[in-house]
């Protein structure tokens, strides 16, 4: 969505009132216009469709029972054709079944006649606020898709908005993150298995550390985006099989900043966490990491968790410049950097969870004989 179109959509305060009773239309129109809204009115579904074809509206206040096409059918048609419209159903029937059907269909509110002034104003205000969040989130996802599309066809359907229910929205959100992460890794022939292992290591460590379930779910869903900044790394550096020059290593380190810039600026909590992980998963507990040289607890907890999970997976899987290290050897190497590279308390929790770590590794193995090409910097 272009910036001017997005701004116009976010500032739109036009409301279409659809009701077969003229007094209701006049009452709602007068009430809302006194509070700064622009109102259009329609007596039935046919007239409402005509008004929608002439002018963009932010909200539809629609009666449920009308002659001809019902308000439910009209709103269903509107949302299918323009999901950015916020719908509020108005009815004289106080029915939980009808109310649930309206909300499941995608309506933002349900007002029962006779209504109070504050009830109408609160419903309209909440609908506008939710609409703004959805429009912004759609715009942000579309921008991400555009940025990555030139790199891989894996994003063609990655940012589709699925059903509005909370469960389906979460599944859609996780699929989008997985596809974006795979697209970023595709240039250096990594597989989705690394992304899946790493995200589940992060979730397991977060849970064993005692974080709330909601935060653990966010970390699992956001962590696959840790290397999304690689889309900004030139191929001749990213795919170089030999040792980096200092100049090339400086280019490599920029992927953390690039990833942060791609993901930051959203109101969505998921993208905020993903931005933090992308920015901080190469910081080291002793302050010798990059890009900002953060130290100790000044490194966000999500970044400290991702650093352990990412390093363990790098050590225990094959690369073109090394074989996969045995688990014991990898653990010994990481233990040598306890308190240096890694948060010591988190590292202890990770090692104490090794039975489940190995279960995850077994569940998401790389293809036999495959060699993953990644940054040829040391994983420790």
Q: Domain 3-131 belongs to what topology?
A: Rossmann fold (3.40.50)
- Chain center to CA of 19: 37
pLDDT value at residue 43: 93
Count helices and strands (H / E) in the chain. Answer: 16, 5
| Topology match between the domains 3-131 and 188-363 | no
- Give the C-alpha separation, 337 to 357, whole Å: 19
Identified catalytic residue from 51, 167, 230, 243: 230
The residues spanned by each domain of the chain are 3-131, 188-363
| Residue 51 is among the residues annotated as catalytic for this protein | no
Please give the backbone phi and psi of residue 329, each rounded to the nearest 5 degrees, phi first: -65, -40
State how far the alpha carbon of 16 is from the alpha carbons of 45, 119, 261, in Å: 11, 17, 38
The CATH fold assigned to 188-363 is Hypothetical protein af1432 (1.10.3210)
Q: How far apart are CA 80 and CA 6, in angstroms?
A: 20
pLDDT per residue of the chain (380 residues) written in tens, 0 to 9: 554 555 566 677 899 999 999 999 999 999 999 999 999 999 999 999 999 988 889 899 999 988 888 899 999 988 888 888 889 988 888 888 888 888 888 888 888 888 888 989 998 888 888 888 887 777 777 776 666 655 544 444 444 444 444 555 555 556 566 556 655 554 444 456 888 899 999 999 999 999 999 999 999 999 988 988 888 777 777 767 667 788 888 888 898 998 899 888 888 888 899 999 999 999 999 999 999 999 999 999 999 999 999 999 989 987 655 688 999 999 999 999 999 999 999 999 999 999 999 999 999 887 654 434 344 455 56
What is the C-alpha radius of gyration for the chain, rounded to an integer number of angstroms? 26
Predicted local distance difference test score (pLDDT) of residue 249: 82
- Per the listing, tokens 């205000």 go with 125
Angle (deg, nearest 10), helices 3-11 and 117-149: 170
Q: How many CA atoms lie within 13 A of 131 on its CB side?
A: 30
């Amino acid at each position: 969505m272009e910036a001017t179109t997005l701004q116009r959509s976010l500032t739109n305060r036009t409301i279409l009132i659809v009701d077969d009773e003229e007094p209701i239309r006049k009452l709602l129109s007068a009430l809302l216009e006194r509070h700064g809204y622009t109102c259009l009115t329609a007596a039935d579904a046919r007239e409402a469709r005509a008004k929608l074809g002439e002018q963009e509206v932010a909200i539809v206040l629609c009666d449920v029972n009308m002659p001809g096409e019902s308000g439910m059918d009209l709103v269903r048609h509107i949302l299918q054709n323009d999901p950015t419209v916020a719908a509020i159903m108005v009815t004289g029937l106080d029915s939980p079944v009808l109310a649930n059907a309206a909300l499941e269909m995608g309506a933002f509110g349900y007002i029962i006649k006779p209504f109070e002034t504050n009830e109408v104003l609160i419903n309209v205000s909440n609908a506008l606020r939710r609409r703004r969040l959805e429009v912004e989130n759609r715009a942000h996802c579309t921008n991400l898709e555009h940025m990555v599309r030139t790199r891989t066809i894996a994003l063609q359907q990655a940012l589709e908005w699925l059903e509005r229910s909370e469960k389906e929205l979460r599944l859609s959100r996780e699929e989008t993150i997985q596809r974006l992460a795979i697209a970023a890794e595709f240039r250096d022939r990594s597989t989705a298995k690394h992304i899946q292992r790493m995200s589940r290591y992060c979730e397991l460590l977060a849970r064993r550390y005692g974080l709330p379930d909601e935060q653990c779910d966010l970390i699992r869903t956001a962590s696959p985006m840790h290397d999304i900044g690689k889309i900004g790394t030139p191929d001749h550096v990213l795919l170089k099989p030999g040792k980096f020059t200092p100049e090339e290593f400086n280019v490599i380190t920029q992927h953390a900043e690039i990833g942060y810039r791609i993901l930051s600026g959203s109101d969505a909590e998921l993208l905020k966490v993903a931005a933090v992980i992308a920015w901080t998963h190469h910081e080291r507990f002793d302050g010798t990491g990059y890009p900002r040289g953060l130290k100790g607890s000044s490194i966000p907890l999500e970044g400290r968790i991702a650093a352990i999970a990412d390093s363990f997976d790098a050590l225990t899987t094959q690369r073109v410049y090394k074989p996969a290290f045995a688990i014991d050897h990898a653990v010994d190497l990481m233990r040598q950097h306890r308190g240096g590279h890694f948060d010591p308390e988190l590292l202890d929790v990770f090692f104490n969870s090794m039975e489940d770590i190995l279960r995850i590794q077994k569940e998401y193995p790389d293809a036999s004989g495959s060699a993953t090409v990644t940054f040829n910097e040391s994983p420790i």
